Structure 1
Amino acid sequence: MASVDFEHIDKIYPGGTQAVFDFNLTVADGEALALVGPSGCGKSTLLRLLAGLETATHGTLRIGGQAVNDQPPQRRNVAMVFQDYALYPHMSVRRNLEFPLKMRDLPRAEIERQVRWAAELLGLGELLDRLPRQLSGGQRQRVAMGRALVRQPTVFLMDEPLSNLDARLRVQIRAELSDLLERLSATTIYVTHDQAEAMTLGDRVAVLDHGHLQQVAPPQELYERPANTFVAGFIGNPPMNLFPARLVADAGGLRLRAGDQSAPLASSATATECWGDYLEQPLTAGLRPEHLSLTTEAEAGWRAVVHDAEYLGHETLLYLRLAGLADPNPILVARLPGIRPFHKGDAVKLRLDCERLHLFGPDGERK
């Protein structure tokens, strides 16, 4: 395996549309990196650039420290797994697995050894004589991954390989793929729009938006310390609650104010040290749904009105609007344990876990 380097990569298509802007990122040897972002953000373009299916407008691509911008795809020794499986329908599973090895003129014994290895690794032993149309979606995806594995490439490139599967099968194959990547210690770049896949499969996750790299970090850091409002609002299901707020000072220290409501910040001395320079500035406050809870009418809390409720059995997602906020009033989500009956228009009081508060400036960047 080998490391991968993107150095100041731009991609501008004919007509002037720019898909990638000054992209810089290093993927370590043996690392699994997940590229995640909304549709059209440049994820697949980066994969195609590395595979040699597209040409970078500016910048340098390196595999194992060697620049590959001018190398044709077949000389880059990368293997790509596509969304649509791309199996040969007239060939059996065995012949699909053998095909890339035959193209390299390997000895028959070596071809058989590699096919047996991939079939055992992916649980395809009983399927080798079947045609693709005789396989389930999960089995077809295993064959597609096996065809990439037998080549023993320097880098694996996976372009939304699970998106065609139904939800239950996607979870199953995702777990199998996570185990496979761990056993192989393979350098892998995995493109997906599904953040659950990204957070499960990636040693690190890179978040893109409109061709710009927003943040790259291990999954836990990405969740707990998003770099800006885009990452905060994209990562998490439901994503982080974001609402306009200001910091104000009183005799007890700092308070978080939204509209006509406010809450004291825990550890005011620490809060003043961290955020004292942002007093009375327009900010965006962020709290994860699990850091909002309900209080009784007699307790201190923020007034809110129920907009909707989603009952999931083990938990209830309560959709709320804060009282006293000017339009547009964002909907906040509170994650509550168990099933709690609510009706649209119910008045409730919210407790904010201000020790878990995130603050973002007018530019959207983390404070």
Structure 2
Amino acid sequence: MADMASIAFEQIDKIYPGGTQALFALSLSVADGELVALVGPSGCGKSTLLRLLAGLDQATRGGLWINGELINHLPPQQRNVAMVFQDYALYPHMTVRGNLEFPLKMRKLPRTEIARQVAWAAELLSLGALLDRFPKQLSGGQRQRVAMGRALVRQPAAFLMDEPLSNLDSRLRVQIRSELSELLDRLGATTLYVTHDQSEAMTLGDRVAVMDQGRLQQIAPPQALYERPANTFVAGFIGNPPMNLFPVRVTSAGDGGQLRLGEQTMPLPAPMADRQWDGLLTAGLRPEHLHLANAEAHNGLHAKVSATEYLGHETLLYARMSGMDAPGSTLVTRLPGIQIFHPGDTVRLSLDPMQLHFFGGDGAALDHGNADTCSCR
């Protein structure tokens, strides 16, 4: 493989003809050999970012850098990046061998060097038995590996992958994802990986960048992203099911404080109440941090069951908190195994207040200061 390289986007704006703005002052750095997964809703600007780096589109403002070199002015063929597309983009009239050879022939490499590179990629991706087949004779997973091989033989400075697994069925996607993770780790390849699947992003990414409406909301390692979301968008997007978000007020009371949820209250330890948060806040709590309290217990939140999902290894319980009609009044609780409930059943939910997250009126997190985050709402 060629030497990998660092990537940097510096205050990137992208405005299309007609005035639609796809990216807003976006800055992002990818270290040499790092895999950064870009995730977010459709239309948030993930693929646009890849197309700008590849030279398929031009940035309206800002700088694009590879290995410390400004590349805005370079044509696509001089940027030394390889892009793998969602639809594989294989040439249907060429065999697998022909598809692998094509980028090398375009660079006018010697025939012996072309043969060596194709043999290397074929062995790496287990394509040796498929070299004389045409794309229509291949399965989805095999086509994906050919598309990867065509990118690999170029020995680029960086790989740009635009939802390369989205056309595969769920079982094959998990298998290929595992193979792809192992391959990229072995190559030490600098990679920007776009996906709409957060499980894919959290599994593959050294860091995960969450985008929304053309803005970078947070970038962090997967665990930090899950445990310390920078704002309510990230909290409500990452996780399956995502974090419960609900309106609360924090008030002082005696040696501690109280958390008011509609007509219900629960005690808070003094360190949390002492922060003197004023006004209406948004509280966040992961479904696994909610538990069923004993029916005779005096503590816990009163709630009424609205729905359940039985998933075999766990049950997701959806219950609406009593005395609350606002959005967020239905909490999702993750319970082990199969537990039977019926709509209308009354339950008590207990929670560990130390697992609560708090967000201000602007949506930004109030309870952590993680330097590896960016909230740009």
Partner of 1:290: 288
Secondary structure of the structure 1 residue equivalent to 2:149? helix
Gapped regions of structure 1 (runs ≥ 5) = none
Distance 2:327 2:170 in 1: 34
Q: Distance in 1 between matches of 2:343 and 2:127?
A: 51
Deviation of 1:148 (Å) = 0.3
Aligned residue in 1 for 2:104: 101
Q: Hey, what's the Cα distance between the residues in 2 that align with 1:98 and 1:206?
A: 34
CA distance in 1, matches of 2:225, 2:244: 15
What is aligned with 1:272?
A: 273
Q: Cα RMSD over matched residues?
A: 1.0
Q: For 2:25, which of 1, 4, 22 is the aligned residue?
A: 22
- C-alpha distance after superposition, 1:110-168 (max 9, x if no partner): 11111111111111111111111111101100100110001000010000001111111
Identity rate, percent: 70
Contact 1:9/1:57, CA 8 A, preserved across alignment: yes
1:54 aligns to what SS in structure 2? coil
1:322, 1:329 within 8 Å by CA — same for their partners in 2? no
The aligned counterpart of 1:44 is 47
Residue 339 in structure 1 maps to residue 338 in structure 2: yes
Map 1:115-264 to 2 at 5 A: 115-264=118-267
Deviations along 1:289-340, whole A, 9 cap, x unmatched?
1001101111211001111100010000111111111334542110000000
Distance in 1 of aligned mates of 2:258 and 2:37? 38
- The answer as to whether partners of 1:42 and 1:210 remain within 8 angstroms in 2 is yes
Post-superposition offset of 1:85:
0.6
Are positions 1:302 and 2:298 aligned together? no
- 1 CA distance for matches of 2:127 and 2:195? 25
C-alpha displacement of 1:90:
1.2
Task: Report the Cα offset of residue 211 of structure 1.
Answer: 0.3
Q: How does 1:350-365 map to 2 (within 5 A)?
A: 350-365=349-364
Contact 2:244 2:328 in 1 (8 A): no
TM-score when scaled to structure 2?
Answer: 0.94
The one-letter code of the counterpart of 1:288 is R
Separation in structure 2 between the aligned mates of residue 264 and residue 164 of structure 1, nearest angstrom:
49
Question: What's the CA shift string for 1:186-232, capped at 9, x where partnerless?
Answer: 10000011101110111001111000110010000000000000000
Query: Hey, what's the Cα distance between the residues in 2 that align with 1:136 and 1:286?
Result: 43
Q: Are the equivalent residues in 1 in contact too, given 2:250–2:273 (CA < 8 A)?
A: no
Contact 1:92 1:132 in 2 (8 A): yes
Q: Quick one: which amino acid aligns to residue 292 of structure 1?
A: L
2 CA distance for matches of 1:123 and 1:176? Answer: 11
Count how many residue pairs are aligned between Structure 1 and Structure 2. 362
SS at match of 2:5: coil
Alignment of 1:88 onto 2:91: yes
Q: Separation in 1 of the partners of 2:208 and 2:98?
A: 35
